[in-house]
Chains A and B, each alone.
Chain A
Amino acid sequence: MIRYALLSLALLVGGCRDPIPEIAADISGHPLPSPVPRPDFVLTDMRGGSYHFGDRTRGRLTLLFFGYTHCPDVCPATMENLGAVMNRMPAVERAKLDVVFVTTDPERDTPERLQQWLGRFEGEVVGLTGTIAEVEAAQRAARVGVAIRDTASGNYAVSHAAQVLVFSPDDSSHVAYPFGTRQASWAADIPKLLERWTGS
């Protein structure tokens, strides 16, 4: 009788847990409650040309991060860690991956500034900027909170989403990686992310 009661309790507790898709259980990214479609926005790349995010990254594993180059903590750490991992990836895997950095501070982050700043890190990263309206629209399209710029002082800070969004080859995002994801975790997860949600 006690055994049945414990079994029922275990089933009840198990049933109450957040449903973690089995496909995402062995990766350190946080599974999203429902897939987010790959956003469609057009911004300016580091050479001053237009970059259609939806078209250019369609069907590819894409890591999308919103930040700004004057960021003192989260952005450099995130880009540095992603770059370090990209640099150690086998070329075959690396060729299947896009990393895109969209500024949340377009007034200061010109294409030249983005090129200079992203050039500090290892790996190839696409840096995008635009008008304030354009980058805000991009954030809404990616379903992240729109950054808040407190421009009262000259060296102002921007509050922005700190997670890295992962868009899979099936053109949806199933997981997001919060700030604090380590290089070793990225290195372990990227091959898995390349294999899953392939859209086939």
Chain B
Amino acid sequence: MTWWCSATGLPWSWSWQAYPGVWLFIALLGFSYWRFGRAPEDTQATRYFLSGLLVLWIALDWPLGTLGTYLASAHTGQFILITLGAPALLLLGLKPRLAALASADTFGARTLRFLARPAPAFVGYTVLMLGTHLPDIVDPFMATQWGTFLIDMLWLLAGLFLWWPVTAPEGFRRLAPPAAMGYLFVQTIPGTAPAAFLVFSQYPLYRLYELAPRVTEVLTPRYDHQVAGLLMKIVGDPVVWIGISVIFFRWANAERQADRTRTRTESAASRPG
């Protein structure tokens, strides 16, 4: 019984495989949220969290989880979902509960306040993202269930680092909207390094994907690596841009609202009475 997807070296098959470890992990996250993280009055937050959980489940379970041990491009697809997609939704789902902790003077609250600064978040995300893409890490780790589990968890952690400074509730967050947009844009830069290596290297970077049994005749190891690199930039970056757009439109709305309020107040004050 395999509890978590890992490279087996067996020929690829489209037959369904069970990964109880993935189900247990998703169930545990869901239960913990329901029990400790949910704010019953905020149904939107609950929807965000459940969406994040769904994205995480899709990334980890069959078939994408399994394909991720055969194809570098599928592995990148998992990265996009686990690191760039799910954490933002999970954090938005936890926002109301976390807001209550903002004024606390506990170690946890102080740590969260520290990590909401852009510099530690940038370093945390970059180190984890680059480290988990090194061939010397990917090749041996992906060959074992614990290794794959660890990479998946590090990706999730990297995503939490990435999104926390812009999703943290008031009291934690220090970035004004323009700075938050700038911060997210800067976070898309380090990923260019592994993407460039994947696209432009003459020979495949990862031993695992170079020698894995073939899934399709069309996708040779080199093309697979190139697709992986392109996905990282062409699909991965726009996920972050969605975050930038949301911040921009919310900021614009807030400014418009403030303008309206100011105009109303001024016109009320100038009305002869």
Contact: B203 with A184, CB < 8 Å?
yes
Please measure, in the bound complex, the distance between the C-alpha atom of A85 and the C-alpha atom of B213, giving whole angstroms.
Answer: 18
CA distance A72 to B12 in the complex (A): 8
Residue A33, interface by CB 8 Å: no
CB pair A80–B221 under 8 Å, yes or no, is yes
Q: A182-B207, A183-B203 are in contact. Are A77 and B213 (CB under 8 A)?
A: yes
Question: Are A81 and B210 neighbours in the complex by a CB distance under 8 Å?
Answer: yes
**Does A30 count as interface, using CB distance less than 8 angstroms?**
no
B52 contacts the other chain (CB 8 A): no
Is B9 engaged at the interface, CB distance under 8 Å to the other chain?
yes
Determine the interface band of chain B, counting residues with CB < 8 A from chain A: 10 to 19
Asked whether B212 lies within 8 Å of A77 as measured between CB atoms, the reply is yes
Contact size class for A? Answer: 10 to 19
- Using Cβ atoms and an 8 Å threshold, which residues of chain B touch A183? 203-204, 210, 221
Give B187-230 as 1s and 0s: 1 = Cβ < 8 Å from A's Cβ atoms: 00000000000000011100100111110010011100000000
User: A80 and B220 in contact (CB under 8 A), knowing A72-B11, A184-B203?
Assistant: yes
- With A and B bound together, what is the CA distance between A120 and B202 in angstroms? 20
Which residues of chain A are near B11, meaning CB under 8 Å?
A: 72-73
Minimal Cβ-Cβ distance residue in B for A122? B220
Residue on B with the closest CB to A183? Answer: B203
A139 to B75, CA, bound (A): 39
- Contact call B211/A180, Cβ cutoff below 8 A: yes
Instruction: Pick the most buried of B9, B10, B12, B202: most chain A CB atoms within 10 A of its CB.
Output: B202
A80→B203 contact, CB < 8 A: no
Residues of A near B203 (CB, < 8 A) are 84-85, 182-184, 187
Complexed CA–CA distance, A146 and B217 (Å): 28
Chain A residues numbered 58-98 whose CB sits less than 8 Å from any CB in chain B: 72-73, 76-77, 80-81, 84-85, 88
Residues of the B chain whose Cβ atoms lie less than 8 Å from the Cβ of A73? 9-11, 213-214
B214 near A77 with CB under 8 A, answer yes
- CB-CB < 8 A to B210: which residues of A? 77, 81, 182-183
Q: Name A185's closest neighbour in chain B (CB-CB).
A: B203
Kindly supply a per-residue 1/0 record for chain B positions 218-249, scoring 1 wherever the CB is within 8 Å of any chain A CB and 0 otherwise.
Answer: 00111000000000000000000000000000
Q: How far is the CB of B140 from chain A (nearest CB, A)?
A: 14
Residues of B within 8 A of A (CB): 9-12, 202-204, 207, 210-214, 217, 220-222
Task: Please list the 4 inter-chain residue pairs (A to B) with the smallest Cβ-Cβ separation, ordered nearest first.
Answer: A72-B11, A73-B213, A183-B203, A184-B203
Sampled A-B contacts (14; CB under 8 Å) = A72-B11, A73-B10, A77-B211, A77-B212, A77-B214, A80-B220, A80-B221, A81-B210, A81-B221, A84-B203, A182-B210, A183-B210, A184-B203, A187-B202
